[in-house]
Amino acid sequence: MAAADLIPKLGDLQEPYTNYTLDEGFMDEMFDEQGLPRPAYLPLFRRLSELPKEELGRRQSAADQAFLNQGITFTVYGNDAGTERIFPYDLLPRIITAPEWATIEQGLKQRIYALNLFLKDIYHEGKILADGVVPHDLVYSCQHFRREMRGLRTPKDIYTCVVGSDLVRLPDGSFAVLEDNLRVPSGVSYMLANRQVMKRVFPGLFGGYGVQSVDHYGQALLSTLRKLAPHGNREPTVVLLTPGVYNSAYFEHTFLARQMGIELVEGRDLAVQDGVVYMRTTGGLKRVDVIYRRIDDDFIDPLTFRADSALGVPGIFNAYRMGNVALANALGTGVADDKAIYAYVPAIIRYYLGEEPILENVETYLCEDKQQLSYVLDNLEKLVVKAVGESGGYGMLVGPHSTAEQREQFRAQILDKPRNYIAQPTLGLSRAPCFIENHVEPRHVDLRPYVLYGGSPDETTIVPGGLTRVALRRGSLVVNSSQGGGSKDTWVLEE
Amino acid sequence: MLSRAADSLYWMSRYMERAEHTARLINVHLNTMVGQSPSAAERHWQRLFSGLRIPAPLDEKGQIHAPEPYAVIRSLTFDRANSDSLVANISAARENARQIREQLSTEMWEQINRIYLNLNQRSFDQVWNDQPHAFFREIENNTNLFQGLTGSTMMHDEGWRFIQIGGYLERAISTASLVDAHYAIYEEHKEEPLRTDEYLQWVGLLKSCSAFEAYCRTYTPTLHTGYIAEFLLLSPVLPRSLHFCADRMHQAVQQIAGITGGGRSQRLTRLTGRLQAKVRYGQIDEILADGLHTFLSDFVDQCQEVHVAIYQAYIDHQLEQEVNG
């Protein structure tokens, strides 16, 4: 009893917790149902109670300044002169215990393995389609399906090796996958930069917490890429291909290139001659073996895909087909993170691995299915509707927060192209403490861990951590940075 | 290294040097302008514009009209639309740095970023009404800090050598233009008795090259136009002299040739070697006798040839020739 008395309860809390509430329908990351701090959060909880309010504010501005000075900014589109903003950073860490992490890790390894097997299958024999587990139509009608990839063997049958899956935590405390990002996932630099800033502004707290390190991500990424080298080359030249300085993730591209010690190239730095890719250097042309490309499929080769692309490298697909260069991720992986295919991922896991999925999917209605469509149309105000090919929070209707006009607009769009839309119940994303205007208040969060797949579950690395994205607006459920979201450091604790 | 990276490092360095040159010249200009007679003002502005290598604003009669200092200095510092302004040069340097962010040390990047952010937060009125001198001095210090960090936190490899070439090429051209501007006006008015404010102009020239104290130590505080020319052109130890800049350029070019190998740099090495010989073995009395202006324009032309040769050797080289040849 004595120990419990020392643990303060929500409700009789002092500053900075006076604005903190626990509401029905959401799991709170910091407090349990009784309003007691969870054990993993207790030291943080105490530290925050001790610090004067002004001190927290001071540290928040120190952190913001650090991001600005480092030029860790993203470019806002549709704004002339390309305004640079910092990605809002929340001072307080999100904490994940070792057992929770073990489940996430196992679940993602299983899932990404199965998705790679799926990609290989649909671009070769198509057994899963013949067996009727996934409908043909859904695959072939996907805008990210690349017929050019049919019959092309990728190194070690690896299709998507750099992955950032979005997880959410449901009201019962379990983690579920909301989205698989299998094409060019971004945000990993923020995971690393958030950690660096955290160590700078909360050195004492961080030091005593037993947080697992994420700093080896760059090395792990480089090893993953080197494995793809063609012709068994042990000393491959690896480069990172960026669309250039005007891309919103340009900071990340430079960051990763530096972490790996590889060249950051643009399309104009590369040239293809007789099926071999070269980069233009001051010492002449140098052969390139592996390309970590951060350019979408559509833009990578104007000779094969979009002819108007100025970002890509003419002829690179031919070099890829000839096996003279490896691309990471492979082309055409977007078919497996299509939001309609997503609904089939549990079935895909069972089909290839004969196992039950460790991480659940979120319930999903496919508008292409007549019955499901009518349910969606009848319940638009309760559901979240998403366009299947979009990401970044674009093309989305959040039913409970929508106007009648917006719903009618979506109804028309869905009826026009049902294949292009799915719907999900409005999720009660878990909430974590954030520092908002001198108070600690709960906000909805998700989690994007970064997976590096090397050909099997055992050869898969997931650095313990990830990017926790926060919907900083009160009540908002949308965490995307383009929609007013921010991020926080994510601590995975040691055993 | 990537040709594009070499190109960006080279230009980052040139723009940074140009920004510093601009800040220093304006600072000296504002200082010497204090208490100046109106009749001297026209020459004074002419020197500033020529020294910055920008056309002077002319009136209908084709004369330099002594402009309103506030408007001109504002345009030379904070006007983004004016590509010669301080803020335009700093932005261009940072934009180049951003394109090769991964080549720079974190210290360098943060410093260049800080200069940029700091400049964007300032308003010209505040600077002008407060202490313009302190502001320009701060810019000089900040750009010098950047150069110091470049020397002490970046590997002195190929990329660093391109930074050296860019910086010293820009500096050589700046010094040459500045000296040319001062001597042109001097030649025009040689017959007139030396006025006291003209004396101040020679001090201004030396200060614009951070060379006044060094001059006093090397010669005496007595200003002699021949000595000044000798010092700014031929001194092997003055960091802004043509000789000093040519030495560094030639050295960097030879080192890059050693790193990249092959015969692509032969012409470039010859050009920087010739440039170096010109200021290393030149005699000031002969240079003055043949005409300082001729010498300096020839020098600047040769600098431009070096620039073109850098592009031919390392940046714009042709792909097909190399694969097949």
Q: With an 8 Å Cβ cutoff, are A70 and B315 in contact? A: no
Domain assignment of residue A378, given as a range: 363-425
Residue where one domain finishes, among candidates A425, A445, A470: A425
Largest pairwise CA distance in chain A: 78
Q: B232 near B242, Cβ under 8 Å? A: yes
Chain A hits for B314, CB-CB cut-off 8 Å, are: 282
Domain count across chain A: 2
Mean pLDDT of chain A: 91
My answer on whether A322 and A256 are in the same domain is yes
Pairing of strands A276-281, A383-387: unpaired
Q: B119 near B175, Cβ under 8 Å? A: no
CB pairs under 8 A between A and B: 76
**Nearest Cβ partner for A71 among B113, B262, B322:** B113
My answer on whether A324 and A374 are in the same domain is no
The better pLDDT of the pair A360, B322 is held by A360
Q: With an 8 Å Cβ cutoff, are A280 and B101 in contact? A: no
Q: Is A266 within a domain?
A: yes
Q: How far apart are CA B321 and CA A363, in angstroms?
A: 59
Q: A222 near A262, Cβ under 8 Å? A: yes
**Nearest Cβ partner for B114 among A69, A258, A280:** A69
Q: What is the pLDDT of residues A29-57, one digit of tens each?
A: 999 988 899 999 999 999 998 888 889 99
Half-sphere exposure of B157 (CA within 13 A, CB side): 12
My answer on whether A242 and A302 are in the same domain is yes
Residue B222 distance to chain A (closest CA, Å):
47
My answer on whether A312 and A387 are in the same domain is no
The DSSP code sequence of A260-326 is HT-EEEEGGGEEEETTEEEEEETTEEEE--EEEE-S-HHHH-TTTS-TT-SSS-TTHHHHHHTTSSE
Q: How far apart are CA A10 and CA A32, in angstroms?
A: 10
- SS3 (DSSP) at A330: coil
Instruction: Report the CATH number that the domain containing residue A254 is assigned in CATH.
Output: 3.40.50.11290
Q: What is the pLDDT of residues A249-295, one digit of tens each?
A: 888 999 999 999 999 999 999 999 999 999 999 988 999 999 999 99
Q: How far apart are CA B145 and CA B142, in angstroms?
A: 5
A77-92 as b/e: b if 16+ CB within 10 A: eeeeeeebebbbbbbb
Q: Is A83 within a domain?
A: no
Instruction: Report the CATH number that the domain containing residue A395 is assigned in CATH.
Output: 3.30.1490.270
Q: Is A271 within a domain?
A: yes
My answer on whether A368 and A321 are in the same domain is no
My answer on whether A318 and A394 are in the same domain is no
Residue where one domain finishes, among candidates A408, A425, A442: A425
Chain B hits for A284, CB-CB cut-off 8 Å, are: 260, 262, 264, 317, 322
Q: What is the pLDDT of residues B243-286, one digit of tens each?
A: 999 999 999 999 999 998 877 889 999 999 999 999 999 999 99
Angle between helices B3-33 and B69-77 (to 10 degrees): 160
Residue where one domain finishes, among candidates A390, A405, A425: A425
Q: Is A103 within a domain?
A: no
Chain B hits for A281, CB-CB cut-off 8 Å, are: 1-3
Q: Is A421 within a domain?
A: yes
Q: Is A333 within a domain?
A: no
Residue of B nearest to A65 (CA): B114
Q: What is the pLDDT of residues B129-162, one digit of tens each?
A: 988 999 999 999 999 999 999 999 999 999 999 9
Long-range contacts of B297-301 (CB under 8 A, 24+ apart): B297/B180, B299/B172, B299/B176, B299/B242, B299/B275, B300/B173, B300/B176, B300/B177
Q: How far apart are CA A118 and CA A348, in angstroms?
A: 7
- Residues 272-291, chain A: which have Cβ within 8 Å of B? 273-274, 278-285
Q: How far apart are CA B232 and CA B284, in angstroms?
A: 11
Determine which of A282, A288, A292, A313 to mutate to test the interface with B (most B C-beta atoms within 10 Å): A282
Provide ipTM, 2 decimals: 0.82
My answer on whether A321 and A262 are in the same domain is yes
The DSSP code sequence of A468-482 is EEEE-STT-----GG
**Nearest Cβ partner for A280 among B98, B319, B320:** B319
Q: How far apart are CA A312 and CA A328, in angstroms?
A: 15
Pairing of strands A276-281, A284-287: antiparallel
Residue of A nearest to B118 (CA): A69
Confidence grade of residue A388 (pLDDT, cut at 50, 70, 90): confident
Chain B hits for A266, CB-CB cut-off 8 Å, are: 4
Residue A30 has a pLDDT of: 95
Determine which of B1, B12, B90, B101 to mutate to test the interface with A (most A C-beta atoms within 10 Å): B101
